Chain A
Amino acid sequence: AQKVTQAQTEISVVEKEDVTLDCVYETRDTTYYLFWYKQPPSGELVFLIRRNSFDEQNEISGRYSWNFQKSTSSFNFTITASQVVDSAVYFCALIVSYNTDKLIFGTGTRLQVFP
């Protein structure tokens, strides 16, 4: 069975703090893809990153970085110097069957950044 676990239901930080959102996945497939999406208070789902199972290089995009570790089945997301605009629910997701691209979502982590 495939599963994505986001154990942190809610995180609160003060602006400029660094914060890491955890994501642990389960799959027996060797080929899979991992994603992060952001859902701001306005409700839309915004794609942030896609990573395939053969690429364990860390990714950095501005204040965002992602750490993919197959040894621990984790795909963690770090926001450096958080800002109020980062307040949102963040979802980690997994695709294991490329033919149908069915996304399996975690339950999300609500991040609140206070000024």
Chain B
Amino acid sequence: DAGITQSPRHKVTETGTPVTLRCHQTENHRYMYWYRQDPGHGLRLIHYSYGVKDTDKGEVSDGYSVSRSKTEDFLLTLESATSSQTSVYFCAISDRETQYFGPGTRLLVL
């Protein structure tokens, strides 16, 4: 299995609070991704990174920001959480051939 961990694995928060999800890899891969999974939508790309300090938006980036100060860590921040951001969040890394996914973070925004 690819060495990817996500923290926290579960989180309950209130509307309007900031939330940061962490993705950590031990594979030294350049590319990292954040997706959200919602019923009826499959997985949708939020943001991705193609190197330290190099990030770009995906198809559902509104309300999210990311940072990557080290190769191994990719942070996803919800500046002010809303109920529509209740979802399961997956981090992925790529060896340029295949994306491998972390275990996911289940986020509930009340």
Complex CA distance for A16 and B48, rounded to whole angstroms: 41
- Distance in angstroms from A97 CB to nearest chain B CB is 11
User: For this complex, into which size category does the number of interface residues on chain A fall?
Assistant: 10 to 19
A100 in contact with B98 given A107-B40, A108-B42 (CB within 8 Å): no
Which one of B20-28, B68-76, B78-86, B99-107 is at the interface?
B99-107
Asked whether B90 lies within 8 Å of A45 as measured between CB atoms, the reply is yes
Asked whether B56 lies within 8 Å of A100 as measured between CB atoms, the reply is yes
Q: Could you tell me how many residues of chain B have their Cβ less than 8 Å away from some Cβ of chain A?
A: 25
A102 in contact with B97 given A43-B88, A45-B90 (CB within 8 Å): no
The interface of chain B, by Cβ under 8 A from chain A, is 31, 33, 35, 40-45, 48, 50, 56, 58, 88, 90, 92, 94, 96-101, 103-104
15 inter-chain pairs at a CB distance below 8 angstroms, sorted by A residue, are A35-B98, A43-B104, A45-B43, A45-B90, A45-B104, A91-B43, A100-B50, A100-B56, A101-B99, A102-B45, A102-B48, A102-B58, A103-B35, A105-B44, A106-B42
